[in-house]
A and B are shown apart, each in its own frame.
Chain A
Amino acid sequence: MDMTTPLVEMRDISIAFGGIKAVDGASVDLHAGEVVGLLGHNGAGKSTLIKILSGAYKADAGEIRVSGEPVAISSPRDAKKHGIETIYQTLALADNVDAAANIFLGRELLTPWLTLDDATMESETRKVMGRLNPHFRRFKEPVKALSGGQRQSVAIARAIYFNARVLIMDEPTAALGPAETKQVAELILELKKQGIGIFLISHDLHDVFDLADRVSVMKNGRVVGTARVADVTQDEVLGMIISGKCPAGATPGPGALRG
């Protein structure tokens, strides 16, 4: 797998906010059909790094390549153009409008008279939601009336409807109960089978070890190291997160503690 050109490569990415380097020379990559877990404490820079890929922030330095081609991503629209979709931790839903309006927000389907084609959008929403959450019925209600799991389905539907090649999931299970968490896990495996590359950001080591093929650990804005989950133990990864110590099974990054 590592021999092929990665689907996404982020090389030496840096960004600073008011003089503080939130991300400092970080490099990560992702292959088609692969799940890469991004781990680190709060403030380690993992969410910021991923927001650069999704177009919410613009990097000060570094390069992003999609299928080997360097690309410029300066807005969420650019990212979506390259098939990079994001499910944010906050879900980023407009609470006052219905599921269809959220799924198609910014990419509305129009009739030949350039008016909103709500009927087609609702029909498509019924199809995609039927796949993700067959019991979902509340198509006409604002999403604030929905349960946490239903809202999560809407956010996921928005990300996968437009044929994403790269999916970024920021703490996708943080607000969910055990049954719903299991459902998200199944979905991740299903999407992986379809050849979608997934960046999974999580606090939960168990989750990541169950789902990810590789993990990259960040600390203080730098990558401590990257490892295949088969080559490291959970304790070793915990050590990377807490002390920045890179174990033998991992490839050290610039943030690794030097002995």
Chain B
Amino acid sequence: MTETAPASATPAQESPAQARSLADRMREIEVDPRMIGMVAALAVIWLGFNWLSGGAFLTPRNLWNLLVQTASIAVMACGMVLVIVTRNIDLSVGSMLGFVGMVVGLVQVRLLPEIWGFEHPLTWIVSLTVAIGLGGMLGMFQGALIAYLAIPSFIVTLGGLLVWRGAAWWVTQGQTIAPMDSRFRPLGGGIEGAIGTGASWAIGLVICGLILAGIVLARRRRRRFGFALRPLWAEGLVAGVACGAVLVTVAIANAYPLPAGIARRLTEAKGLVWPPGGLFIGHGLAVPVLLALAVGVAITFLTTRLRFGRYVFAIGGNPEAAQLSGVNTRKVLTLVYGLMGALVGISACISTARLNAATNSAGQLDELYVIAAAVIGGTSLAGGVGTIAGAMLGALVMQSLQSGMVLIGVDTPLQNIVVGLVLVVAVWLDGIYRKRLG
């Protein structure tokens, strides 16, 4: 009612040719300027460490490992975004990861072998299912305490942090369980967890195809309703950047060669001759990285395309309004924690497989890294705001800092100091950004 712009005949005729700021332009092509800021920050971190380490950071080997190390935190960060968006917090994820990891170890090393014997082909999938189911149940339980008994989430999950860590010890009275099933280990990466170069290119091309199809479909639907369309150059830019990123990632993963001994064994297993000069066999993408990407895509779909996600954000924006609109806020909150728990289950499998052992100290301090990843990725602790892609990038930023500091030989205490400072500064900058442009 306060706007004075003349009414246009159809919605498609809007967007007059007036002077527009950069932020408006970005909004027009539906690119979040904060996302670009994060990518820029990541570029600075990568180039900085590459320079400090004398070129050791931007190598296929380091980047491959960096992605694998990010996977576990990135998976949990997806769930943490939803938790924080509803104005809650989950401090229990690290301990829950430890407990679920121990149960998974127990199931596949002690229980299943008694029924099926060792190395049964179904062991890995049963383990993964148990982890997701158990994590989901523990999460729902915590969520129900928060939603139905109105106990603050900080307290419930602080309790969870202590309870699940203790429970993790209790599973085996502190004993470490190892080794893991050979079909389970690929979940953690490593040489078994690399899918090879051919499959990596195939997956990369499929992803590119899906990105293009998605853009075309979205455009077609907007046209059908006569809404303003993004300019074609913007569509092309978004498509190009997205597909380029996918293909570069595949190329880097493929450029990291398997160790000579393993490459030789693989070659000879195929009945081929190992040439005297050796052969270059690339790793290809790692299973945990693909798993994390799949989780990211699934949760993004959930938050942006499904009713559930809409409710999660509405609750974060105004819990009372959501309730008065007929949203069952308690049920939604319980499910959010259930989802968080299920994702902890996946991460527990990734960490256990990567370590090739279940230990009761697994996941210590993970809750803080997961929360930090979500918050660095633009999730507001006040609720209602956050993106999955941002949180996953946040996880990559955190892991890049840590890996980089390890690479240039920074002591652990100093690493923690730096990560802590970066977290605080990142949130401060984000706050300034929101005030200026939000």
Let me know if A163 is at the binding interface, CB within 8 A. Answer: no
Interface window among A120-128, A188-196, A213-221: A120-128
Chain B residues touching A, range: 35 or more
Let me know if B316 is at the binding interface, CB within 8 A. Answer: yes
A153 surroundings in chain B (CB, below 8 A): 1
B327 surroundings in chain A (CB, below 8 A): 105-106
Cross-interface CB contact of A96 among B3, B316, B325, cutoff 8 Å? B316
Question: Do A183 and B310 touch across chains, with their CB atoms under 8 A apart?
Answer: no
For window 136-181 of chain A, which residues contact chain B by CB distance below 8 Å? 136-137, 140, 142, 147, 149-150, 153, 158, 179-180
Question: Do A180 and B317 touch across chains, with their CB atoms under 8 A apart?
Answer: no
Question: Do B317 and A95 touch across chains, with their CB atoms under 8 A apart?
Answer: yes
Distance of B8 from chain A, by nearest CB (Å): 9
Chain A residue nearest in CB terms to B4: A135
B304 surroundings in chain A (CB, below 8 A): 116
Question: Do A95 and B318 touch across chains, with their CB atoms under 8 A apart?
Answer: yes
Distance of A172 from chain B, by nearest CB (Å): 14
Chain B residue nearest in CB terms to A110: B307
Cross-interface CB contact of A92 among B3, B7, B318, cutoff 8 Å? B318
Question: Do A97 and B313 touch across chains, with their CB atoms under 8 A apart?
Answer: yes
Let me know if B178 is at the binding interface, CB within 8 A. Answer: no
A241 surroundings in chain B (CB, below 8 A): none
Question: Do A135 and B314 touch across chains, with their CB atoms under 8 A apart?
Answer: no
Question: Do A116 and B310 touch across chains, with their CB atoms under 8 A apart?
Answer: yes
Distance of A98 from chain B, by nearest CB (Å): 11
Cross-interface CB contact of A137 among B5, B222, B321, B384, cutoff 8 Å? B5
Distance of B230 from chain A, by nearest CB (Å): 12
Question: Do B317 and A88 touch across chains, with their CB atoms under 8 A apart?
Answer: no
Let me know if A108 is at the binding interface, CB within 8 A. Answer: yes
Cross-interface CB contact of A116 among B3, B5, B306, B323, cutoff 8 Å? B306
Let me know if A13 is at the binding interface, CB within 8 A. Answer: no
Q: Within the assembled complex, what's the spacing in Å between the Cα atoms of A142 and B313?
A: 11
**A76-B326, A106-B326 known; A97-B5 Cβ under 8 A:** no
**A116-B307, A119-B224, A137-B14 known; A94-B314 Cβ under 8 A:** yes
Cross-interface CB contact of A122 among B1, B225, B384, cutoff 8 Å? B225
Cross-interface CB contact of A56 among B221, B224, B324, cutoff 8 Å? B324
Per-residue interface assignment for chain B, residues 286 to 316, with 1 indicating a CB less than 8 Å from any chain A CB and 0 otherwise: 0000000000000000001111001001111
**A75-B326, A94-B313 known; A120-B306 Cβ under 8 A:** no
Q: Within the assembled complex, what's the spacing in Å between the Cα atoms of A215 and B225?
A: 45
A106 surroundings in chain B (CB, below 8 A): 322, 325-327
Chain A residues touching B, range: 35 or more
Question: Do A105 and B227 touch across chains, with their CB atoms under 8 A apart?
Answer: no
**A116-B310, A149-B2 known; A92-B227 Cβ under 8 A:** no
Cross-interface CB contact of B227 among A95, A107, A122, cutoff 8 Å? A122
Q: Within the assembled complex, what's the spacing in Å between the Cα atoms of A257 and B162?
A: 61
Q: Within the assembled complex, what's the spacing in Å between the Cα atoms of A153 and B2?
A: 12
Let me know if A86 is at the binding interface, CB within 8 A. Answer: yes
For window 164-216 of chain B, which residues contact chain A by CB distance below 8 Å? none
Q: Within the assembled complex, what's the spacing in Å between the Cα atoms of A96 and B378?
A: 14
Let me know if B11 is at the binding interface, CB within 8 A. Answer: yes
B318 surroundings in chain A (CB, below 8 A): 92-95
Let me know if A65 is at the binding interface, CB within 8 A. Answer: no
Let me know if A42 is at the binding interface, CB within 8 A. Answer: no
Distance of B408 from chain A, by nearest CB (Å): 40
Q: Which of B222, B225, B324 has the most CB of A within 10 A?
A: B324
Question: Do B222 and A119 touch across chains, with their CB atoms under 8 A apart?
Answer: yes
Q: Which of B1, B317, B384 has the most CB of A within 10 A?
A: B1
Q: Within the assembled complex, what's the spacing in Å between the Cα atoms of A164 and B315?
A: 24
Question: Do B385 and A137 touch across chains, with their CB atoms under 8 A apart?
Answer: no
Let me know if A1 is at the binding interface, CB within 8 A. Answer: no
Q: Within the assembled complex, what's the spacing in Å between the Cα atoms of A106 and B321?
A: 10
Let me know if B268 is at the binding interface, CB within 8 A. Answer: no
Chain B residue nearest in CB terms to A107: B326
Q: Within the assembled complex, what's the spacing in Å between the Cα atoms of A75 and B324?
A: 8
Chain B residue nearest in CB terms to A126: B11
Q: Within the assembled complex, what's the spacing in Å between the Cα atoms of A107 and B314?
A: 13
Let me know if B32 is at the binding interface, CB within 8 A. Answer: no
Let me know if A134 is at the binding interface, CB within 8 A. Answer: yes
A101 surroundings in chain B (CB, below 8 A): 310, 313-314
Q: Within the assembled complex, what's the spacing in Å between the Cα atoms of A135 and B3?
A: 6
Question: Do B225 and A119 touch across chains, with their CB atoms under 8 A apart?
Answer: yes
A158 surroundings in chain B (CB, below 8 A): 325
Distance of B280 from chain A, by nearest CB (Å): 44
Distance of B169 from chain A, by nearest CB (Å): 41
**A105-B325, A108-B310 known; A147-B2 Cβ under 8 A:** yes
- A108-B310, A114-B306 known, 8 other contacts, Cβ within 8 Å: A94-B322, A110-B307, A116-B307, A116-B310, A119-B225, A135-B3, A136-B1, A137-B3
Instruction: Please list 10 pairs of residues, one from A and one from B, whose beta carbons are closer than 8 Å in the complex, sorted by A's number.
Output: A92-B320, A95-B317, A95-B318, A101-B314, A108-B310, A110-B307, A119-B227, A137-B14, A149-B1, A179-B1
Among all A-B residue pairs, the 4 with the closest Cβ atoms: A94-B317, A96-B317, A96-B384, A106-B326
- Chain A residues with CB under 8 Å of chain B are 54, 56, 75-77, 80, 86, 88, 90-97, 101-102, 105-108, 110, 114-116, 119-120, 122-123, 126, 133-137, 140, 142, 147, 149-150, 153, 158, 179-180, 183
